[in-house]
Structure 1
Amino acid sequence: MSVVNDVHSRLNETEVDAVVPVDSLESIGAAIDRARAAGRPVSVAGGRHAMGGQQFCSGGVVLDTRPFDRVLSLDEERGLIEVEAGIQWPALMDALTDTPWAIRQKQTGADDLCIGGAISANVHGRGLTYGPFIADIESLIVLGADGVARTCSRDENADLFRLVCGGYGLFGVVCSATLRLDRRRRVERVVRLAHTHELEELFAQRIDEGFLYGDFQFEIDPASAGFLQHGICSCYRPVADDTPLGADHKLSSADWNRLLHLAHHDKTRAYEVYAEHYLRTSGQVYLSDRHQLATYLPGYHWDGSSEMISELYVPWPLLADFLAEAASDLRALEADVVYGTVRLIERDDESVLAWAREPWACTVINLHVEHTPAGIERAVIAFRRLIDLALERGGSFYLTYHRWATRQQLLTAYPQLSEFLDAKHAHDPGELFQSDWYRWLRAAIELEAAA
């Protein structure tokens, strides 16, 4: 037996039968055959940053795809690259360095994340006019529960394509993906301080001016009037290809460690230091792919605490109202906000379990969680309240993080869940591919309905 956990929250400690590194289609098939013969469920893990238990199944076999990381082909005319699912963002970017092509978007905040996980969670970045990651996928090779490897795209096995993208590994193992690339450009960061009431108009203006990326990082001190209201708006616009990149005013690992300490112990000073840094970098020029890389410091907490994330979606006209009420409620609940940001997302009308059902404002909130029953319960109450605030405004929330949403919250945000679970049973009637997240979801939706 082995014990595994996610990297960020460390709240998903799971005892599994075995962790099996895989590096080929054949090794994946062999591992699945052995698990099936032993009556063990199979889950798939890569960078292990999902926080809802999607990559682990108690008593099951975990396929570790990180060795499965080759670049298979590059079509330089069409801007398509085929990679194995275990490749992580830095290696993918390095493979494109000597070409005119670049990734369109990736998750923010960390880089050691596998492409297979990005597909399974249908992630997004900070593009101003982008939809979720499914829009960047040309095709997939998926090994199903029946042992057959299938090409899945919008034209071939389209139903499976729509299920696998955002399907959290429940419909088979993503073996390879052909990704759509963009031409690499140089972009200039433009920074200003803003209030939430300005954001809808400000981002619309930035989009009209041709900006490609952007976000709004808000104050985190509940004692400040600017808590969740005032923040740093950073957007990136294309500039001429011969524009010098200039000096890169990056924060060092030591700087990030200091900021993390301040975010826990002196939140006002943390925001001041962070805002000063961003304002100092306004006008700096980056490559459109490399500016999406981040510094992530794993294990910066003592064993008894960590951060948990939630991502909430609301219509843009209701964002300021949502954040104002969220600030009031988080103060009342004495929730410990460590970081927060607002981004944009366009509608996803392709994946079955689409989280971006509309063009929404996305609010990401990191809460500090003490790993005690009382500490976890405080986080559960706070996140459920945030979910309610989003749902009251016709919005939704992201499933990739905790397993703390109620059944009613799940069904309100994801009315297609019954369809999703029916498809799971049809494609994998023996439930070979499972996770603790799946077992929780199935119990919440199906078993409670039957009770």
Structure 2
Amino acid sequence: MKRFFIVILYALLFGLSLQAFHFKLDHPIAEDISRLMPVKMKAIQAEDNEEAIKRIILEANENDDPISIGGMQHSQGGQTLYPNGILLDMKRYDKVLDLDVKGKRITVQSGATWADLQEYINPYGLALKVSQSQNIFTIGGSLSVNVHGRDIRHHALIETVESFRLLNAKGQVLTVSRKENSELFSSVIGGYGLFGVILDVTLQLTDDELYKIKTKSLHYDEYTSYFKKEVLQNDDVKMHLARISVAPGSYLDEMYVTDYYRANDQAQLSNYDTLKRETIIAVPKFFLGLSRYNDWGKERFWETQETYTANINGNLISRNNAMRSDSAFMDYSNPSKTDVLQEYFVPIDQFADYIDDLRKTLSDEKDFNLLNITIRYVEQNDESMMSYAKEDMFALVMLINQGTDNESKENSGRVIRKMIDVTLNHNGSYYLPYYGYPTKRQLYEAYPRTEDFFQLKKKYDPDNRFMNLFFEEYHP
């Protein structure tokens, strides 16, 4: 009898476990890289051909299912998620369709990554005009957030796009360019997947080149004049980035810059054009890890960055390799904490005053764990409906460590809203792919055409077939 009850109990437990397993299969939990907002989806679907993707859209129409679109899912504010919706995972849709070497243009499916493109075009002596500093992201995702990078002559990604094909909510495929469906061109690029599925994109390319790296240390109040004179007015400088210290001993004061000059002897390019992968990962990963825990670690991390920058001064590097940074050293796994990003854009002439105000704002925020600030340049461009570059701007990319509990999120939100207000007070703006800490007021002030953007969403997708948590949070 005892054995009988044990068998019955085991069967019940097995049945409950199986039921829970099938429930998880039927209701998968999806989350972005920040892990701050796990969302229960109806399904996650990935296809590698256009007709299959179209069927997903048509079936969603029949079942009245919302659709969110995801690539690498490094957006951190629910831009690729919506509760009980279909997550359309585009990573398998990744073929290069055409390369015009003479015309320097490529057509590629939206699930391909920048790394895929670089490996394809590098043998032809071609390079990307614009991409993020890391090359792990999908082309469709990068269009959806209208990325920018290190190149100071080519700015927002939208500038390099000739056309793309869009699968809309009705299952129709539209060709979109500056001349054809132009409203969609300006709203889909930087539109966070709210207008349809970007199927494939035709991008302008440029020549691969050999660069000489030059680095320099300076103080924050010297940066604007240095940049205007030594970088913008020098046609030989092709790429640029800077970092400003968050270590207590030099907090928002010391900086170093890294400039990429076109090398005099381009014949040496063949000695440097093999695509590299970063191999020195353990050291920066170790010191970045230390910086998460205390001020001593932040000092050591800044010293490590300065030493590395000094050591690469004078090095030669190809354009493709300069646009090929590996983010592996930033990988971080902690059950109760996560790293999040913020990015603020400030007019270049207001940089020093902005840093002074930012320093005052953060001086009393002892629990706000700011790990790193990287600075790039973006030229004014209003071609995208949701353009972040209202004038020539410095872009400050901030890496922040925070807890995943509600109290930590509330604290981070409070500080971030203060920083955004400082940015807006300097006629700046902020980047949208991150957690929904900003208020609606801040969104509409940073992006004056937000109302028009949402009106176009209503015009082209009246049933809200394409949905995400960003839209849910901020639409009227």
TM interval, short-chain normalised = over 0.9
Residue 432 of structure 1: aligned partner:
465
CA displacement 1:280-323 (0-9 Å, x = unmatched): 01111111122111222365231211111111111111111111
8 Å CA contact retained: 1:215, 1:341: yes
Aligned pairs for 1:20-419 (under 5 A) are 20-108=45-133, 110-204=134-228, 205-209=230-234, 210-221=236-247, 223-224=248-249, 226-239=250-263, 240-243=265-268, 244-245=271-272, 252-265=280-293, 266-297=297-328, 299-334=331-366, 335-419=368-452
Shift of 1:366: 1.3
Residue 105 of structure 1, CA deviation: 2.1
How far did 1:207 drift? 2.5
Contact 2:149 2:155 in 1 (8 A): no
Partners of 1:102 and 1:147 in 2: CA distance: 34
In structure 2, how many angstroms separate the alpha carbons of the residues matched to 1:206 and 1:262?
Answer: 33
Amino acid at match of 1:233: V
- Give distance in 2, aligned partners of 1:130 and 1:98: 22
Could you say what secondary structure the match of 1:317 adopts?
Answer: helix
**Would the alpha carbon gap of residues 246 and 409 (structure 1) be closer, same or farther in structure 2, given more than 3 Å must change?**
closer
Counterpart of 1:420?
453
Q: Secondary structure at the match of 2:260?
A: strand
> Which piece of structure 1 moves more, 293-302 or 81-90?
293-302
Amino acid at match of 1:380: G
What RMSD in Å do the two structures reach over aligned CA positions?
1.6
Cα distance in structure 2, aligned partners of 1:358 and 1:299: 34
Write the letter of the residue equivalent to 1:429.
P
Q: Deviations over 1:413-449 (max 9, x none)?
A: 112111011100000011100001111111xxx1xxx
Q: CA deviation at 1:129?
A: 3.2
Long gaps (5+) in structure 1 = 447-451
Deviation per CA, 1:120-160: give whole Å up to 9, x if none: 00010022233211001110000011211011111111111
- Bigger fraction of residues in helix: 2
Are residues 153 and 44 of structure 1, via their aligned partners in 2, closer, same or farther at CA, if it must alter by over 3 Å?
same
Task: Give the drift of 1:363.
Answer: 1.1
Identity %: 26
**d(CA) in 2 for partners of 1:4, 1:232:** 39
Contact 1:129 1:344 in 2 (8 A): no
Bigger Cα displacement from structure 2, 165-174 vs 239-248: 239-248
The one-letter code sitting in structure 2 at the alignment partner of 1:211 is V
Shift of 1:234: 0.5
Q: What secondary structure, in the 3-state scheme, does the structure 2 residue paired with 1:431 have?
A: coil
Query: Per-residue displacement from partner, 1:222-273 (whole Å, max 9, x unpaired)?
Result: x22x212212210101112123549989552212321222322310111001
Distance 1:107 1:358 in 2: 20
Contact 1:367 1:379 in 2 (8 A): no
SS of residue in 1 equivalent to 2:123: coil
List per-residue Cα deviations over 1:80-115 (Å, max 9, x = no partner). 00000000111110001210211012112x332100
Whole-angstrom CA distance in 1 between matches of 2:193 and 2:355 = 33
**Contact kept in structure 1, 2:130 and 2:155, CA below 8 Å:** no
> Which residue matches 2:3?
none
Question: How far apart, CA to CA, are the structure 1 residues paired with 2:152 and 2:200?
Answer: 28
Work out the CA distance in 2 between the residues paired with 1:188 and 1:138.
Answer: 30
Amino acid at match of 1:81: I
Kindly tell me: are residues 188 and 71 of structure 1, through their superposed partners in 2, closer, same or farther at Cα, counting changes over 3 Å? same
- Partners of 1:41 and 1:249 in 2: CA distance: 39
Q: 1:249, 1:171 → 2: CA distance?
A: 35
The TM-score normalised by the length of structure 1 is 0.94
State which structure, 1 or 2, has the greater radius of gyration over its C-alpha atoms: 2
Counterpart check, 1:5 vs 2:31: yes
Instruction: Tell which deviates more after alignment, 32-41 or 162-171.
Output: 32-41
Change (3 A) 1:249 1:115: closer
From the superposition, tell whether residues 34 and 129 of structure 1 become closer, same or farther in structure 2 (CA, over 3 Å).
same
What TM-score do you get using the length of structure 2 for normalisation? 0.89
**Who is 1:449 aligned against?**
none
Which has the higher mean CA deviation after the structures are superposed, 248-257 or 98-107? Answer: 248-257
Does the 8 Å contact 2:358/2:422 carry over to 1? Answer: yes
**Residues 432 and 163 (structure 1 numbering): CA distance in 2 closer, same or farther, change over 3 Å?**
same
More divergent stretch after superposition (384-393 vs 29-38): 29-38
Asked if the contact 1:187/1:285 (under 8 Å) is kept, the reply is: yes
SS at match of 1:212: strand
Provide the rounded CA distance (Å) in 2 between the counterparts of 1:242 and 1:259: 38
Which ranges of 4 or more aligned residues in structure 1 deviate by more than 4 Å?
246-251
